[in-house]
């Protein structure tokens, strides 16, 4: 406001000047009239002075902060509109908005002129432009921003689609369920529900443009996550390389985060290991209920048979698998099974047991002193005694169609393998001072330590070692001395 005292001083000065002039011209009556005239016109003069020295200005206030005076609010409005237009052009979006509260206070003032340029410079520093965006909120925490809800929905569907059928409708937890329910049973043979384990919401937000993510950036953030420090509890089967693989890091990363742990450290169950790794922001949980048919293993029933030797077995009844119908609930997290439970089980066909008889009879390892013919027939091609200038220690038997070689008496195998000139050879100790020797076999059917019964197969006739043709070289030793087998053989 213009001070009224200025106007009064001006009037007083003019009045004094008028009286002085009247006295000089001896016009006292005129002076009196002049005084009255001046007082009559004082108010008009003051009003003229006030109007000549005041103007209407506008105080610009941003969020309660006074920035200065402008002569026209349109100047500020135009400046802000230009800034918004520039930001829209730079960001390529129409979602830019002013977040400040801008007010204008009209004032009549004699301060002279407005601070237009200073106010615009202050506006440049004090106004804040943000983008209207959509916030992705996971379990109550904002994890990222996108330009619009459609972008978020598309990302969510793509993430879910990696682990199951794409949703047909969206809700805040992005779930979909597909089920087949037979009319006759009213029970689904297969159902699948794909959802986020976490509570996922979308809300309106205003943020700096730099915080708004593209579709690919948002998907990467949700799936891969950000680097976070977590504690891994050592469980059975863990090793440093296993733990590193689980978190997609290296063992060197573990060493850096855990001073004192080296490649030679022996992990203990329950140990806490610090792991800095990317932690996904969302977990895709797939819940599957499925009904399948599975075989039932047949049981094996064993019965004793005293007519069979130990180690021998006889199948009395062949087993047959049964069939069962099982309904499972399987929970997967990011494609890996985290839980599997049986909801229902029904036997469709009982299994038929396999019945087996096992021998209990102990095979004698001591001979009775009488020796059976060791082959199926055949003839002696060379006798015991002197031959070609040297001693022939046993009998040579050949000319058989069935080349099976049999134990001449009960006993225990002392040797079963290569034996110099004898080639493939079996020696049986009969436990009564006698031993029998079987040479030149093409193959051996027993092992050292086996107990064999008289007449049991021990090998096949051949021509290994120092031999001129297929035959069996057979010896009998009594108390370590070579004897003529003919004296002991029967049949």
pLDDT at 306 over 80: yes
- Residue 186 located in a structural domain: no
Question: Are 386 and 483 found together in one domain?
Answer: yes
Question: Are 273 and 289 found together in one domain?
Answer: no
Proportion of the chain above pLDDT 70, given as a percent: 84
Among candidate residues 334, 361, 388, the one where a domain is terminated: 361
Question: Are 118 and 42 found together in one domain?
Answer: no
Tell me 334's DSSP state: T
Question: Are 428 and 468 found together in one domain?
Answer: yes
Average pLDDT over residues 392-417: 96
Higher pLDDT, 44 or 480: 480
pLDDT at 179 over 60: no
Q: 472 with 408: CB under 8 angstroms?
A: no
Average pLDDT over residues 393-400: 95
- Residue 324 located in a structural domain: yes
- Residue 345 located in a structural domain: yes
Among candidate residues 361, 390, 412, the one where a domain is terminated: 361
- Residue 169 located in a structural domain: no
pLDDT at 175 over 50: no
- Residue 216 located in a structural domain: no
pLDDT at 462 over 80: yes
pLDDT at 230 over 80: yes
Average pLDDT over residues 186-191: 69
pLDDT band at 177 (very low <50, low <70, confident <90, very high): very low
Question: Are 466 and 391 found together in one domain?
Answer: yes
Average pLDDT over residues 147-168: 85
Residue 299's Cα: distance from chain center in Å?
38
Q: Which residues contact 114 (CB under 8 A, 6 or more apart)?
A: 57, 58, 68, 69, 70, 71
In angstroms, rounded to a whole number, what is the distance separating the alpha carbons of residues 395 and 385? Answer: 9
The model's pLDDT over 316-364, given as tens digits with 9 standing for 90+, comes to 999 999 999 999 999 999 888 989 999 999 999 999 999 999 999 888 8
- Residue 170 located in a structural domain: no
In angstroms, rounded to a whole number, what is the distance separating the alpha carbons of residues 240 and 255? Answer: 9
Q: 443 with 459: CB under 8 angstroms?
A: yes
What pLDDT does 88 receive?
85
- Residue 397 located in a structural domain: yes
User: What SS3 class is residue 272?
Assistant: strand
Question: Are 476 and 450 found together in one domain?
Answer: yes
Higher pLDDT, 344 or 190: 344
In angstroms, rounded to a whole number, what is the distance separating the alpha carbons of residues 405 and 372? Answer: 11
Q: 442 with 463: CB under 8 angstroms?
A: yes
Average pLDDT over residues 76-82: 94
pLDDT at 124 over 70: yes
Question: Are 49 and 65 found together in one domain?
Answer: no
Kindly report the average pLDDT of the chain as a whole number: 85
Structural domain count, the chain:
5
Question: Are 231 and 335 found together in one domain?
Answer: no
The alpha-helical segments, DSSP class H, found in 258-327 are none
What pLDDT does 165 receive?
72
Average pLDDT over residues 469-478: 96
**Going by DSSP bridges, is the β-strand pair 55-62/102-109 parallel, antiparallel, or unpaired?**
antiparallel
The alpha-helical segments, DSSP class H, found in 313-360 are none
pLDDT band at 277 (very low <50, low <70, confident <90, very high): confident
Tell me 84's DSSP state: H
Instruction: Mark residue 462 as left, alpha or beta (left: phi above 0; alpha: psi -120 to 50; beta: remaining).
Output: beta
Average pLDDT over residues 375-392: 92
- Residue 394: give the domain boundaries: 371-490
Q: How far is CA 17 from CA 20, 24, 34, in A?
A: 5, 11, 11
Question: Are 263 and 326 found together in one domain?
Answer: no
Tell me 420's DSSP state: G
What pLDDT does 445 receive?
97
Number of H helices, E strands in the chain: 9, 31
Q: What is the CATH number of the domain that holds 250?
A: 3.10.350.10
pLDDT at 389 over 70: yes
Question: Are 271 and 291 found together in one domain?
Answer: no
Determine how many CB atoms are found less than 10 A away from the CB of residue 399: 12
In angstroms, rounded to a whole number, what is the distance separating the alpha carbons of residues 97 and 103? Answer: 16
The model's pLDDT over 26-50, given as tens digits with 9 standing for 90+, comes to 444 444 444 444 444 444 544 555 4
Q: How far is CA 293 from CA 171, 215, 288, 384, 391, in A?
A: 35, 43, 16, 70, 74
Question: Are 382 and 323 found together in one domain?
Answer: no
* Of the ranges 132-136, 176-180, 316-320, the best mean pLDDT one: 316-320
pLDDT band at 309 (very low <50, low <70, confident <90, very high): confident
Among candidate residues 361, 381, 399, the one where a domain is terminated: 361
Question: Are 461 and 404 found together in one domain?
Answer: yes
Average pLDDT over residues 196-213: 90
**Going by DSSP bridges, is the β-strand pair 371-372/379-382 parallel, antiparallel, or unpaired?**
unpaired
Whether the model clears a pTM of 0.75, i.e. scores above it, the answer is no
Q: Which residues contact 434 (CB under 8 A, 6 or more apart)?
A: 367, 369, 371, 409, 476, 477, 478
Q: What is the CATH number of the domain that holds 419?
A: 2.70.70.10
In angstroms, rounded to a whole number, what is the distance separating the alpha carbons of residues 216 and 190? Answer: 33
- Residue 208 located in a structural domain: no
What pLDDT does 38 receive?
42
Determine how many CB atoms are found less than 10 A away from the CB of residue 381: 13
pLDDT band at 3 (very low <50, low <70, confident <90, very high): very low
pLDDT band at 188 (very low <50, low <70, confident <90, very high): low
In angstroms, rounded to a whole number, what is the distance separating the alpha carbons of residues 325 and 328? Answer: 10
The model's pLDDT over 421-458, given as tens digits with 9 standing for 90+, comes to 999 999 999 999 999 999 999 999 999 999 999 999 99
């Amino acid at each position: 406001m213009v001070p009224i005292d200025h106007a009064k001083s001006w009037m007083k000065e003019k009045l004094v000047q008028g009286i002085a002039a009247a006295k000089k011209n001896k016009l006292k009556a005129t002076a009196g009239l002049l005084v009255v005239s001046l007082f009559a016109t004082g108010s008009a003069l003051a009003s003229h002075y006030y109007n000549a020295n005041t103007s209407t200005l506008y105080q610009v206030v941003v969020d309660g902060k006074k920035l200065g005076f402008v002569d026209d609010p349109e100047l500020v409005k135009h400046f802000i509109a230009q800034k918004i237009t520039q930001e829209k052009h730079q960001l390529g979006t129409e979602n830019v908005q002013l977040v400040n509260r801008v007010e204008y206070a009209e004032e009549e003032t004699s301060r002279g002129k407005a601070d237009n340029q200073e106010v615009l410079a202050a506006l440049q520093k004090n106004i804040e432009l943000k983008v209207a965006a959509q916030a992705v909120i996971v379990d109550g925490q904002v994890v990222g921003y996108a330009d619009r809800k459609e972008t978020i929905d598309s990302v969510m569907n793509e993430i879910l689609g990696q682990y199951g059928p794409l949703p047909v409708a969206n809700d805040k937890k992005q779930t979909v369920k597909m089920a087949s329910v037979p009319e006759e049973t009213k029970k689904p043979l297969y159902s699948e529900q794909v959802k986020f384990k976490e509570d996922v919401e979308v809300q309106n937000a205003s943020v700096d443009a730099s915080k708004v993510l593209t579709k690919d950036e948002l998907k990467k953030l949700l799936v891969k996550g950000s680097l976070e420090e977590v504690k891994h509890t050592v469980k059975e089967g863990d090793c440093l390389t296993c733990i590193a693989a689980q978190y997609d890091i290296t063992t060197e990363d573990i060493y850096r985060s855990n001073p004192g742990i080296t490649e030679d450290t022996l992990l203990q169950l329950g140990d806490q290991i610090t792991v800095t790794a990317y932690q996904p922001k969302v977990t895709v949980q797939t819940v599957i209920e499925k009904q399948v048919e599975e075989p039932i293993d047949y049981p094996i029933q064993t019965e004793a048979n005293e007519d069979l030797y130990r180690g021998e077995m006889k199948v009395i009844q062949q087993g047959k698998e049964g069939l069962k119908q099982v309904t499972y609930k399987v929970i997967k997290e990011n494609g890996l099974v985290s839980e599997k439970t049986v909801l229902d089980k029904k036997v469709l066909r009982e299994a038929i047991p396999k019945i087996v008889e096992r021998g209990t009879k102990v095979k004698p390892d001591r001979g009775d002193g009488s020796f059976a013919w060791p082959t199926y027939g055949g003839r002696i091609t060379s006798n015991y005694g002197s031959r070609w200038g040297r001693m022939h220690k046993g009998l040579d038997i050949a000319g058989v169609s069935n080349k099976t070689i049999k134990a001449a008496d009960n006993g225990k195998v002392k040797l079963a393998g290569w034996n110099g000139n004898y080639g493939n050879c079996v020696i049986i100790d009969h436990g009564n001072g006698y031993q029998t020797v079987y040479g030149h076999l093409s193959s051996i059917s027993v092992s050292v330590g086996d107990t064999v019964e008289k007449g049991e197969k021990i090998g096949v006739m051949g021509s290994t070692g120092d031999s001129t043709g297929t035959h069996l070289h057979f010896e009998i030793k009594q108390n370590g001395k070579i004897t003529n087998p003919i004296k002991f053989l029967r049949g």
